């Protein structure tokens, strides 16, 4: 899949594609990234991409025309590569909060154009005319959309086949519908005793059925304690699985 990233600071992405487990997604070609600077599509000697907001107020606003021309060039590039026109994502506080379901959607797509805003905001006319999706990481504000883009790309990359050491790793992640959308269970490793704190005995028992039961109980306990809003989804998912299971004869 191909992601085209519109950003004034492409340098922020360099360590991301060369370090960590997700770099495999780019080395394997499962995910390709192309960077586009809207300043290259701005007019004038100074290549300005922002200006003061109409009506007054603090900060600067990213201008519609450089962004629109940049996206137009990206779509033309994708067309020349025999790729379909891509959806245009803007990272914005008004966007839909990114969830596992959303990540799974983009992980199975052909990619998208990611617009990383800066300054006080983006001219609303560009949003109305060009943007097809808006995504938020949560109820807080970042200085730019690059961190949000990195979060989406990281989550998408790790879902690609061959990226994680164990193909089942992401199946046990928090929020995965295969586990009812619950939080993941606690994890322990060596040593068996650390500062007088012992690993739960069941994990040392070698009894896999009991271990699976303990982990399921811990998932529900942690979810009820920290994210009770997720429990209705877990109950719904469990009911669906029961209905879809073959009846015993």
Residues labelled as active-site residues: 93, 120, 158, 173
Q: Token pair for residue 63?
A: 């201008």
Query: What is the CB neighbour count within 10 angstroms for residue 229?
Result: 8
What are the start-end ranges of the H helices in 181-230? 208-226
Query: What is the CB neighbour count within 10 angstroms for residue 31?
Result: 22
Cβ-contact 97, 122 below 8 angstroms? no
Q: Which DSSP category does 207 fall into?
A: -
Pairing of strands 193-194, 197-198: antiparallel
- One-character DSSP codes across 24-88: HHHHTTSSEEEEE-GGGG--TTTT--EEPPTT--SS-EE-HHHHHHHHHHHHHHHHHTTPPPPPE
What are the start-end ranges of the H helices in 81-195? 100-107, 124-129, 146-157
């Amino acid at each position: 899949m191909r992601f085209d990233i519109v950003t004034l600071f492409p340098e922020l992405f360099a360590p991301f594609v060369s370090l960590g487990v997700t770099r495999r997604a780019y080395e394997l070609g499962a995910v390709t990234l192309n960077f586009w600077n809207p300043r290259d599509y701005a007019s004038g000697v100074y290549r300005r991409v922002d200006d003061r907001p109409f009506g007054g107020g603090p900060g600067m606003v990213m201008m519609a025309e450089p962004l629109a021309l940049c996206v137009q060039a990206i779509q033309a590039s994708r067309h020349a590569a025999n790729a379909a026109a891509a959806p245009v994502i803007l990272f914005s506080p008004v966007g839909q909060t990114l969830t596992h379901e959303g990540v799974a959607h983009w992980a199975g797509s052909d990619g998208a154009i990611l617009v990383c805003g800066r300054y006080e905001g983006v001219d609303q006319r560009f949003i109305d005319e060009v943007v097809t999706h808006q995504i938020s990481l949560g109820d807080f504000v970042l200085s730019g959309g690059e961190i949000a883009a990195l979060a989406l790309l990281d989550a998408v990359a790790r879902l690609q086949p061959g990226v994680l050491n164990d193909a089942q790793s992401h199946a046990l992640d928090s929020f995965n519908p295969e586990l009812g959308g619950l939080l993941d269970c606690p994890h322990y490793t060596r040593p068996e005793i650390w500062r007088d704190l012992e690993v739960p005995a069941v994990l040392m028992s070698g009894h896999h059925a009991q271990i699976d039961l303990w982990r399921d109980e811990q998932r529900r306990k942690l979810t009820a304690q920290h994210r009770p809003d997720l429990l209705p989804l877990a109950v719904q998912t469990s009911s669906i699985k029961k209905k879809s299971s073959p009846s015993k004869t």
